[in-house]
Amino acid sequence: KILSCLPRYVLRMTNLRHIGVVSMVAAIAYLWSPKDRIYRVQEAFRDTAPGEFIEINGVRTHYTIQGSGELIVMIHGLGSGWSQAFGDMIPHLTKTNTVLAFDLYGVGFSDGTSENMDMERIVSHLAQLLLKLSVRTKGLTVRPFTLVGYSMGGAAATGFALEFDSLIKNLILMAPAGVKVPIPVEGELIKIPIIGDLLFQAVAPFIIKNQLPRGHIKGDDFDETVKAHRHSNITARTKHHPGYVRSLLSSVSRAASLL
């Protein structure tokens, strides 16, 4: 009986060794991968973008600036670009104000990067965008303005306001990140350094397509039309935007720096 179990035991050990070797190779590849890589949005997908593009340190940022009057700057939340988060609001706001909204690196139609999407990175991104647009707007983007942050963008807006308080006229936080909500077990696992990164890269398409359309709280109660629309948008981004998964991973695993 003991001898009959040996083939299965040896097979299991062999499989474990294979898994160990593959994991080690993947870990080495991750550690030695370029830290300044740019993930370009596929051209066919980029051509569907509703806004304009500007290069910041060689990375194309998707943004819109429209209207007239005092400036309102808007920062979107996790996983959705400005057109998804604020597309319905902007036409109303531009009746009395100038509105600037942009996609963070790796989200919406902006190129992704291999750098961590932490507070410092997001604040720097917005600061450089404002400076780049200052000539075009005749200095409007470097004078005090109203800053709006939605969800995780609320935490980012708070971080920007702390760093550049002299630029903030009003700070508006919409359902801001910072309140503890239930996180699926896979969300906790991907916070583990290196191992979480490798795991997320392997199962990201499944997690993103099945969890994000549901949201975090009572996602099953969402209207089916809303879930289908979100699922379609997420599917398109995972297919045509190489930096999207990387950006989500970095944002989730380093969320503590945004809270």
pLDDT in tens, 71-101: 999 999 987 899 999 999 999 999 999 999 9
Q: What is the mean pLDDT of residues 36-55?
A: 92
Query: Which of 14-23, 105-114, 203-212 holds the top average pLDDT?
Result: 105-114
Neighbours of 98 (CB within 10 A): 19
Alpha helices for the chain (secondary structure H): 2-31, 43-46, 82-86, 90-93, 119-132, 152-163, 185-189, 195-211, 224-240, 244-253
Does the pLDDT at position 244 exceed 60? yes
Looking at per-residue confidence, does 145 or 249 come out higher? 145
pLDDT in tens, 160-198: 999 999 999 999 999 887 655 556 665 566 566 666 666
Sequence-separated (6 or more) residues with CB below 8 Å from residue 91? none
- Edge-to-edge order in the sheet of strand 145-150: 52-56, 59-67, 98-102, 71-75, 145-150, 168-174
Does the pLDDT at position 25 exceed 50? no
Q: What percent of the chain has pLDDT over 70?
A: 62
Q: What are phi and psi of 135, to 5 degrees?
A: -70, -50
Element (H, E) at 182: none
User: Which tokens sit at 70?
Assistant: 């005092």
Neighbours of 226 (CB within 10 A): 11
Looking at per-residue confidence, does 212 or 125 come out higher? 125
Is the pTM of the predicted complex or chain greater than 0.85?
Answer: no
pLDDT of residue 253: 61
Average pLDDT taken over every residue of the chain: 78
pLDDT of residue 239: 75
pLDDT of residue 240: 76
∠ CA(50), CA(54), CA(58), 5° rounding? Answer: 130
Confidence label for 238 from pLDDT (cuts 50, 70 and 90):
confident
Q: What percent of the chain has pLDDT over 90?
A: 43
Does the pLDDT at position 39 exceed 60? yes
First to last CA, the chain: 57
Q: Are strands 59-67 and 71-75 parallel, antiparallel or unpaired?
A: unpaired
Does the pLDDT at position 68 exceed 90? yes
